[in-house]
A and B are shown apart, each in its own frame.
Chain A
């Protein structure tokens, strides 16, 4: 199925077109969402909303970029909005768990009985990495994640973000400098111990 045929099928609400769209783009959508959210289950849940959004907004797709590029844009937008929602919710959850820990200490110890030290260290590292990435300014974050995690070329990123190649280069360069700044203090803690 070519892109125009697929677009046409989706506009006609053709079930075969939906099936083709999902089977063809699910990996791209879920993996990109995962790179931003840092959690596969959340990414899979969000992908359901992303595909609905793709189908519903197909009317507004002007076709001045490729379908894949446009799907990337929707995925990035949705993932970053989801992250903002989670961060707002996270403040409430952290407060709630703080009070739960204060009132019931024994239960919280039983909650994760099979976590090994290595698992815990990796989980902690993943959280630190993602929180450092999330501290980057939005455009740096988009360019960095698409490049480093999603293996997108500077040219593809410039199309997705609708900016010039030098801008992409500069965003990724600054993202790396900032990430180094955010991550290095973690090791100075190590060095003390």
Chain B
């Protein structure tokens, strides 16, 4: 057994999910290789830390706080009950207003001065607005896991 096999199997070794023979040869290597033994001891601390975190318990008052939060959300006059179409239309309307402003601006500039460089700059500005203001509105709400099941 070489040191590489130790580093490849650290997790499995600590979980006890490797075949008996491999487990035995790892133990044997650890008793004769000081640097692997040190590595193994250090790695064990991380495995122990996972076990400690698993046992962490929430604050006993958490339930009350959550219920208070729900209660206050439902008692708020214009709470999160905003209709979905309004939630979607608001940023769309803002983006539309912004983009039409820029388009009108660039169009009037173009009619006054027809140099192409000027128009290109405006197009870049639109792209910038689209990417930084408008699109990021939605990235926060990104669904990592599909909830429609």
Spell out A's residues near B (CB within 8 Å): 13, 18-19, 22-23, 26-27, 30-31, 34-35, 38, 40, 43-44, 47-48, 51-52, 55-57, 60-62, 64-65, 70, 73-74, 76-77, 80-81, 84-85, 122, 125-126, 128-129, 138, 142, 148-149, 151, 160-162, 176-177, 179-180, 183-184, 186-187, 190-191
Number of interface residues, chain B, beta carbon within 8 A: 39
A80-B144, A149-B54 as given contacts; A23 in contact with B69, CB under 8 Å: no
- Total A-B pairs in contact (CB under 8 Å)? 123
> Which residues of B from 73 to 110 have beta carbons under 8 Å from A?
73-74, 80
Q: Could you pull out 13 A-B pairs where Cβ atoms are within 8 angstroms?
A: A19-B67, A47-B62, A57-B147, A62-B148, A62-B149, A64-B149, A70-B149, A76-B145, A125-B45, A142-B145, A149-B54, A184-B43, A190-B38
Spell out B's residues near A (CB within 8 Å): 7-8, 10-12, 35, 38-39, 42-43, 45-46, 49-50, 53-54, 56, 58-59, 62-63, 65-67, 69-70, 73-74, 80, 140-149
> Given A77-B143, A126-B53, A180-B8, 16 other A-B contacts at CB below 8 A?
A18-B70, A27-B58, A31-B58, A40-B56, A44-B65, A47-B58, A48-B65, A51-B66, A55-B70, A62-B148, A149-B50, A161-B145, A162-B149, A177-B8, A180-B10, A190-B42
CA distance A52 to B76 in the complex (A): 13
